[in-house]
Chain A
Amino acid sequence: MSAKELWTRFAAWVNGEAAPAARFEKEYQPKHSPLFRRKPREVSTGQPKTYEVWFYRVSAVLASVALIGILLATVTRLPLHGTPGTPDQNEVAERYVEQGLEETGAVNLVSGMILDYRAFDTFGESCVLFLTAMSVFVLLWNDKHSLPPKLEAERKEDDIILAEEEMHLLRHAAHFLTPFILLFGIYVVVNGHLSPGGGFSGGIIIGSGLIFYATACGQKTVSRFFDRKAFYILNFICLAIYAGAKSYSFFLGANHMENPIPKGIPGAILSGGLILPLNICVGLVVACTMYAFYALFNKGDF
């Protein structure tokens, strides 16, 4: 490139008319840039080259194998599984086990831990669920973009099949079993502070019961008593109660005030201070969210 040519290019560049890099052109055709003289490169049209693909694969496998190797080496240096005296048997676990009943009123120490000692994490977790439900709403809630005509036709056909087909057995079974599933779910939620389970597992069981009923009898039947509005309101009430109750207790704790909420008799249903209402709130949020996932994945609405 001669000096004059360089100067013209530079002048043009200062004027902003012809830029040095080819990226100002309408179609993206990277030519050799004047800075580093190289051969023109092929435009990437989306199809990665074979050697790139193989390089990626091989490096991914190697990285994973190296990761497994390093982690296995780490595992040999970790405290032995199942032996007493490991580092996590410290004052934290000791207090949770020995004074858990007295301080939280929960027989199930795990419930006591996640809803009293470390309740902030659990609050965040309910927010994750709520947030995900709302994101799925954004993605799959029917609108003219997300519902192509073909899909709409398919969904209508599904409805017709569901209405016409003689699924007596399935429907009878659903009518018969759903109350028991819901009852079991409620049992797990309400006994969260006394036995294994709690808001999350119980809520998922309730949600599964609703999904089962909706699969057998159609979503319309469920939407008679549980529609979008009910979902929003129930979700709002539960999260608001959770936030209100817990922030009250956090505020009292942080300001070194006494906790006025009675703990009740250990082992009774009405015990454990805030744990029972919180479990019920979490259970309802989880059940709503799970059913909302089903409804949105299946029909895009409910």
Chain B
Amino acid sequence: MIYLEYLLLIFLIVCAILAPLCRRLLNAVLVFAAFSTVTAILWLLMQAPDLAITEAAVGAGIDTVLFLLTLKTAHFLDGTRDKK
């Protein structure tokens, strides 16, 4: 179990370093969503299921939606969809 925790923590640190370094903002947001999900798993391992549910819904759900909406307004999603 402890090795799983090590693995997840290393993944977290890698995500945290990568997320702000990604060249495309879309990728940065998606890496951040992965970061949140892994945090939720870690909390599940640490016997805090309430936090795991909340973090999964907040970090991977609402935060990502808000980031994506901002990116949409700021035209950083152009080219990801065919416009008529």
Complex contact flag A–B (Cβ < 8 Å):
yes
Q: What mask results when residues 97 to 111 of chain A are scored 1 for a CB within 8 Å of chain B, else 0?
A: 000000000001011
Q: What A residues does B66 contact at CB under 8 A?
A: 293-294, 297
* B72 nearest CB neighbor, chain A only: A298
Nearest-CB distance from A62 to chain B (Å)?
Answer: 18
- Report the bound CA distance from A201 to B57 in whole Å: 7
Question: B61 touching A204 by the CB < 8 A rule?
Answer: yes
* A297 nearest CB neighbor, chain B only: B69
The binding surface of chain A is classed by DSSP as helix
Nearest-CB distance from A275 to chain B (Å)?
Answer: 14
Q: Assess A208 versus B50: contact at CB under 8 Å? Given A161-B84, A297-B69, A298-B69.
A: no
The binding surface of chain B is classed by DSSP as helix
Q: What B residues does A293 contact at CB under 8 A?
A: 62, 66
Other than the given A151-B73, A196-B53, A294-B65, 17 more pairs (CB < 8 A) read: A111-B50, A161-B83, A161-B84, A164-B84, A196-B49, A198-B50, A201-B50, A201-B53, A201-B57, A204-B61, A207-B62, A211-B65, A293-B62, A293-B66, A294-B69, A297-B66, A297-B73
Q: Is the interface on chain B under 10, 10 to 19, 20 to 34, or 35 or more residues? A: 10 to 19
* A198 nearest CB neighbor, chain B only: B50
Residues of B bordering A, CB below 8 Å = 49-50, 52-54, 57-58, 61-62, 65-66, 69-70, 72-73, 83-84
Question: B69 touching A196 by the CB < 8 A rule?
Answer: no
Q: Assess A208 versus B84: contact at CB under 8 Å? Given A201-B50, A293-B62.
A: no
Question: B50 touching A204 by the CB < 8 A rule?
Answer: no
Partner of A197, one of B50, B62, B65, B70: B50
Tell yes or no: A213 within 8 A of B by CB.
Answer: no
Tell yes or no: A115 within 8 A of B by CB.
Answer: no
Q: Is the interface on chain A under 10, 10 to 19, 20 to 34, or 35 or more residues? A: 20 to 34
Tell yes or no: A302 within 8 A of B by CB.
Answer: no
Nearest-CB distance from B73 to chain A (Å)?
Answer: 7
Tell yes or no: A274 within 8 A of B by CB.
Answer: no
Residues of A bordering B, CB below 8 Å = 108, 110-111, 151, 161, 164-165, 188, 196-198, 200-201, 204-205, 207-208, 211, 290, 293-294, 297-298
Q: What B residues does A200 contact at CB under 8 A?
A: 54
Nearest-CB distance from B3 to chain A (Å)?
Answer: 15
Nearest-CB distance from A197 to chain B (Å)?
Answer: 5
* A208 nearest CB neighbor, chain B only: B61
- Report the bound CA distance from A191 to B50 in whole Å: 12
The 6 closest A-B pairs by CB, nearest first: A196-B49, A297-B69, A204-B57, A201-B53, A201-B54, A196-B50
User: Could you name 25 residue pairs across A and B whose Cβ atoms are closer than 8 Å?
Assistant: A110-B50, A111-B50, A161-B83, A165-B84, A188-B53, A196-B49, A196-B52, A197-B53, A201-B53, A201-B54, A204-B54, A204-B57, A204-B58, A204-B61, A204-B62, A208-B57, A208-B62, A208-B65, A211-B65, A290-B62, A294-B65, A294-B66, A294-B69, A297-B70, A298-B69
